[in-house]
Every structure is written in structure tokens, then in C-alpha cells.
């Protein structure tokens, strides 16, 4: 039992930290928020230390597992979550709506993500997922006086509950077929008895439920509205840490229990992937709101990532893990910029507001342009490497047509990223944004931009780390 608890150490630290923050907040009220945000960031840093030093282990009768794969994902999630906590603190200070529950909810949501990433049975998967989603629903509606924010929260909640229902239905069918909820047990049962119709039914529902959480087509409808309505730093959290957690969970839940059923799930994943890439490339073109645009962009990028899963190989998983790093880091940078778009004491978020930014705020414009070009996949920025790894894995698994379609979608999608760069550099300047970005946000943006630009000189270490992480899944 003690050993089991030690395996859970990073999660325990985060849980205790979050509850301590809740207590302090309950006594000190809103004025303690800045301190609590700092506390939560420190707790996340401590959690990160213990994540990176933890040995491989399995705890609670196989419900919870620590391996290279979970370590990689947890480090990325904790990093993104810590950055988003700082962003959120800054954003709500600017808005004048600071409340102490904000860092607490972010911490609980992050805790749920860590549990998801380590889940090795369907029950721990579901509990982790619910812990994460429940906190996210509340965060989406956090600006409770704004109709758009509450609408975002409600939509996210209703559709999230529906997807949880589908997920549970799938899990119960799989349990009915195999008689166990362990990933390892399911894998053994499928290997021994083959795939029955009940298992395939369950698998399809499982994939549908998980695709909802990823906002992959055809389960993407919630994403644009939620991205538009929710507060900007919370959207950054959705599109970095939450996407990483959902994606990593997807990989483990498909590859570990169902390696023998690859022909059954591969077609579904390919279809979801190709549709997401296509919709992401086309639907974002007409958007004027930059947050909606980022929502469609996220749908498209989830499609590229899923192509790596469709390959079902170690190379594919390695490519996906790198894709997630690139995607999370880039998105945080982009949302730091969106958060800095303020005029007359309010946040503005249309693309036209960015006009002529290169003249009013040259540094911010340069960083945002680099991030946009990286998302578009222009060499030599980080984005092109992410896409190349995933496409190569797909080609190696003989998925030529999906890879080709992905390439075409990528070319089409480049249009709307380039349009933003054009608006910033060649249009007549709009009124300048007010306020300064500040040292903290500036540093985050600079780090994100530097990663994007300089990755080309040092690709090896991160790729090696992703490779080791992927390897632990295929033993």
C-alpha cells in the first residue's frame, strides 16, 4: 500500500496542494488569489520534479501505471497547466474579476489529466476523465455574468455529458465481452478469443466518446462555440493541457488493450482523422473571430495527430507525441497574444483588430507571425517537423492516401494562417492595443516563439525523448 501511494506521489502532491489552496482561499477570499496562483504553479513544478524522477511502476492492482509514456505526457501537461495558471491570473486581473477558485479548479483539472494519462483500466480512465471535464465545464463558464461564457459552459457540459454516456456504453460492452476492465486483461481476452461483435460495438462507442473529448470530426460541433465564449486563458488550457491529456489517453486506450483488433479500429481512426483535417482546412477560412479560427485550427491539428495513431506503430506514436509538444507550446504562445488584445478595458478578438500590428507592436507581431507560420507548417519552423514525422509514420504503415489527403489539407489550411500574417504586416494599422504585455507574459511568448524558430537547430533531444516514451508502450 505504501508503495502504491509512493507511485502516486506527484498526483498526491497536486491534490493536497489544491485542497490547501481551497482552504486558504475560503478563509482569505479573493485577495489571496495571486498568492494561490503562485502556490499552484510551485506545486505543479514540484509535481513535475517527482514525475520526472519516478521509476516505472504499477499501482492499485494495475489501475494506475507509470511508464516512459506517462512521464512524457505528464511533464508536458504540468508545464502547460502552470503557464495557463499564470495567464489566467493575469487575464482575470485585467478584467477585474479575480476569484480564488480559479487556480484551485485549474489544479483539480490538471490532477484529472494526470490520472487520465496514467490510467490502465477503464474505471480509472473514466474517473480521471470526469475529474478533468467537470472542472473544465466550470472553468468555461467562469465569467458567469457574460452570456457567451455561460453558453459555452452549458454547451460544453451537455455535449460532454453525452460523450461520457457514449464512452460508458462502449466500456460496458467491452466489459461484457471480456469480463474485465483492465487494459492488460482486455488485451489478453481479445488475443485469446478474437473480436466478437460486442467488442467491435464497444470499441466504436469508445472511439466516439474519446473523439468528442478531442473535438475530432464528426464530434467537433462544440469546439468553436466553446472556444469563442470561454475566457481566453481557459481556452489556452483547453487547447494545450486538455488536448494533450485526451490525446495521450486515446493512444493508450486504443493501443494497449486492442493491438489485436487493429483492423477494426484503424478504419475508424483514419476516417475521423481525414475528416478532421479536411474540415479544419476549409471551415476556418471564413472565420473573423480569432478564437473561433483557433478552434477550427485545433480540429484540423487533431486530425493530423490522429494520423499517427492510425499507423499504429511506434514511429506513429513518437510522431504524435512530438506533435503534441509542438501544438501545446505554439497554442500557448498564440493565446498569450490573443489575451494581450485589449482596447478600452475590454478584450477584442476579431482578426481585423490585429491590422498593422507589425507597426504598433513589432515584437508581438513577429512572434505571432512565427507561431502562425509554424501552425501552417512552413519550413524551417517547428510545425513542419511535427507534420513530417506524422506523415512519414503513416506512409511507413502503407496509409498512402490518408497521408496524401493530409498533405493537401495542410496546403489549403496554410491560407488562413498566412492571412493573419498578411493582416498584421500589410494592412493599415488599427488603433493600438492598450496596456503592456508585462514581463511574465512576454517571457512565455518569447519561449514559445524561440522553441518554434530554434527547434530546427536542435531536433535530436526532444525527438529522442518522444521515442523513448513511445517505446515504453510497445513492450
Partner 1 sequence: MLQAIAFYFFSAILIGAAFMVIAARNPVHSVLFLILSFFNAAALFVLLGAEFLAMILVVVYVGAVAVLFLFVVMMLDVDFTDLKRGAQQYLLPGIAVGGVLALELIFAIAWRWTVTPHAIGAAAAAAPAGVSNTVALGRILYTDYIYYFQVAGLVLLVAMIGAIVLTLRKRPGVRRQSVRRQVSRTPADAMTLIDVEPGQGA
Q: Does 253 bind partner 1 (CB under 8 A)?
A: no
Place of cell 516505472: 56
Q: Does 99 bind partner 1 (CB under 8 A)?
A: yes
Indicate the pairing of strand 346-347 with strand 342-343.
antiparallel
Place of cell 490573443: 338
What CA–CA distance (Å, rounded) separates 108 from 134?
A: 9
Q: Does 165 bind partner 1 (CB under 8 A)?
A: no
C-beta of 8 vs 290, nearer to partner 1: 8
Scanning 98-106, 219-227, 432-440, 450-458 for contacts with partner 1 by CB under 8 A, the matching segment is 98-106
- Using CA atoms, how far residue 357 sits from 212, 392, 422, 442, 452, in Å, is 36, 37, 10, 16, 20
User: In the bound complex, what is the minimum distance in angstroms from residue 57's beta carbon to partner 1?
Assistant: 13
User: In the bound complex, what is the minimum distance in angstroms from residue 124's beta carbon to partner 1?
Assistant: 7
Helix (H, G, I), strand (E, B) or coil at 100: coil
Scanning 31-39, 177-185, 222-230, 453-461 for contacts with partner 1 by CB under 8 A, the matching segment is 177-185
Q: What is the DSSP letter of 473?
A: G
C-beta of 127 vs 392, nearer to partner 1: 127
Q: What is the DSSP letter of 219?
A: S
| Count of Cβ atoms closer than 10 Å to residue 66 Cβ | 23
User: In the bound complex, what is the minimum distance in angstroms from residue 151's beta carbon to partner 1?
Assistant: 13
C-beta of 196 vs 442, nearer to partner 1: 196
Q: Does 131 bind partner 1 (CB under 8 A)?
A: yes
User: In the bound complex, what is the minimum distance in angstroms from residue 413's beta carbon to partner 1?
Assistant: 36
User: In the bound complex, what is the minimum distance in angstroms from residue 9's beta carbon to partner 1?
Assistant: 14
User: Which residues have C-beta within 8 Å of that of residue 75, sequence separation ≥ 6?
Assistant: 48, 51, 52
What CA–CA distance (Å, rounded) separates 349 from 288?
A: 9
Q: What is the DSSP letter of 240?
A: I
C-beta of 22 vs 392, nearer to partner 1: 22
Q: Does 135 bind partner 1 (CB under 8 A)?
A: yes
Q: Does 147 bind partner 1 (CB under 8 A)?
A: no
Q: What is the total residue count of the chain?
A: 475
User: Which residues have C-beta within 8 Å of that of residue 121, sequence separation ≥ 6?
Assistant: 62, 63, 181, 182, 183
- Choosing from 196, 259, 429, 442, the residue that interacts with partner 1 (CB under 8 A) is 196
- Choosing from 38, 198, 259, 442, the residue that interacts with partner 1 (CB under 8 A) is 198
Q: Does 138 bind partner 1 (CB under 8 A)?
A: yes
Q: Which residues between 25 and 84 bind partner 1 (CB under 8 A)?
A: 59-61, 63-64
Q: Does 221 bind partner 1 (CB under 8 A)?
A: no
What CA–CA distance (Å, rounded) separates 398 from 30?
A: 56
Task: For residue 333, count CB atoms less than 10 angstroms from its CB and return exposed for 0-12, middle for 13-18, buried for 19 or more.
Answer: buried
Q: Which residues bind partner 1 (CB under 8 A)?
A: 4, 8, 15, 19, 22, 59-61, 63-64, 99, 101, 104-105, 108, 111, 115, 123-124, 127-128, 130-131, 134-135, 137-138, 141-142, 144, 153, 176-180, 185, 189, 192-193, 196-198, 201
Amino acid at each position: 500500500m505504501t508503495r502504491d501511494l509512493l507511485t502516486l506521489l506527484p498526483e498526491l502532491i497536486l491534490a493536497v496542494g489544491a485542497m490547501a489552496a481551497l482552504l486558504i482561499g475560503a478563509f482569505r477570499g479573493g485577495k489571496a488569489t495571486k498568492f494561490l496562483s503562485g502556490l499552484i504553479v510551485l506545486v505543479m513544478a514540484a509535481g513535475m520534479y517527482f514525475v520526472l524522477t519516478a521509476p516505472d511502476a504499477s499501482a492499485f492492482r494495475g489501475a494506475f501505471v507509470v511508464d516512459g509514456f506517462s512521464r512524457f505526457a505528464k511533464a508536458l501537461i504540468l508545464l502547460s497547466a502552470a503557464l495557463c495558471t499564470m495567464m489566467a491570473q493575469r487575464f482575470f486581473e485585467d478584467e477585474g474579476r479575480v476569484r480564488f477558485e480559479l487556480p484551485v479548479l485549474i489544479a483539480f483539472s490538471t490532477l484529472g489529466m494526470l490520472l487520465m494519462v496514467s490510467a490502465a483500466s477503464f474505471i480509472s480512465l473514466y474517473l480521471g476523465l470526469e475529474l478533468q471535464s467537470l472542472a473544465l465545464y466550470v472553468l468555461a463558464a467562469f465569467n458567469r455574468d457574460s452570456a457567451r461564457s455561460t453558453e459555452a459552459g452549458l454547451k460544453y457540459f451537455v455535449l460532454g455529458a453525452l460523450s461520457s454516456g457514449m464512452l460508458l456504453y462502449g466500456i460496458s460492452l467491452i466489459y461484457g465481452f471480456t469480463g474485465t476492465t483492465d487494459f492488460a486483461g482486455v488485451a489478453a481476452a481479445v488475443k485469446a478469443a478474437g473480436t466478437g461483435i460486442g467488442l467491435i460495438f464497444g470499441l466504436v462507442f469508445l472511439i466516439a466518446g474519446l473523439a468528442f473529448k478531442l473535438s475530432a470530426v464528426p464530434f467537433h460541433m462544440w469546439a468553436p462555440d466553446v472556444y469563442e465564449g470561454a475566457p481566453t486563458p481557459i481556452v489556452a488550457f483547453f487547447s494545450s493541457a486538455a488536448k494533450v491529456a485526451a490525446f495521450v489517453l486515446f493512444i493508450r486506450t486504443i493501443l494497449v488493450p486492442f493491438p489485436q483488433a487493429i483492423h477494426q479500429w484503424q478504419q475508424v481512426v483514419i476516417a475521423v482523422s481525414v475528416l478532421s483535417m479536411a474540415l479544419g482546412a476549409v471551415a476556418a477560412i471564413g472565420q473573423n473571430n480569432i478564437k473561433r479560427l483557433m478552434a477550427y485550427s485545433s480540429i484540423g491539428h487533431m486530425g493530423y495527430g490522429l494520423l499517427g495513431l492510425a499507423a499504429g506503430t511506434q514511429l506513429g506514436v513518437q510522431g504524435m507525441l512530438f506533435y503534441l509538444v509542438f501544438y501545446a507550446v505554439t497554442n500557448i504562445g498564440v493565446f498569450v497574444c490573443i489575451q494581450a488584445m485589449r482596447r478600452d478595458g475590454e478584450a477584442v478578438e476579431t482578426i481585423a483588430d490585429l491590422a498593422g500590428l507589425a507597426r504598433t507592436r513589432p515584437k508581438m507581431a513577429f512572434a505571432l507571425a512565427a507561431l502562425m507560420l509554424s501552425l501552417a507548417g512552413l519550413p524551417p519552423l517547428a510545425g513542419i517537423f511535427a507534420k513530417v514525422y506524422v506523415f512519414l509514420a503513416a506512409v511507413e504503415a502503407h496509409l498512402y492516401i490518408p497521408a496524401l489527403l493530409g498533405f493537401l489539407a495542410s496546403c489549403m489550411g496554410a491560407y488562413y494562417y498566412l492571412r493573419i500574417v498578411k493582416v498584421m504586416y500589410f494592412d493599415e494599422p488599427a488603433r493600438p492595443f492598450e496596456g503592456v504585455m508585462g514581463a511574465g507574459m512576454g517571457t512565455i511568448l518569447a519561449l514559445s516563439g524561440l522553441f518554434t524558430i530554434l527547434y530546427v537547430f536542435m531536433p535530436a533531444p526532444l525527438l529522442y525523448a518522444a521515442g523513448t516514451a513511445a517505446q515504453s508502450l510497445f513492450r
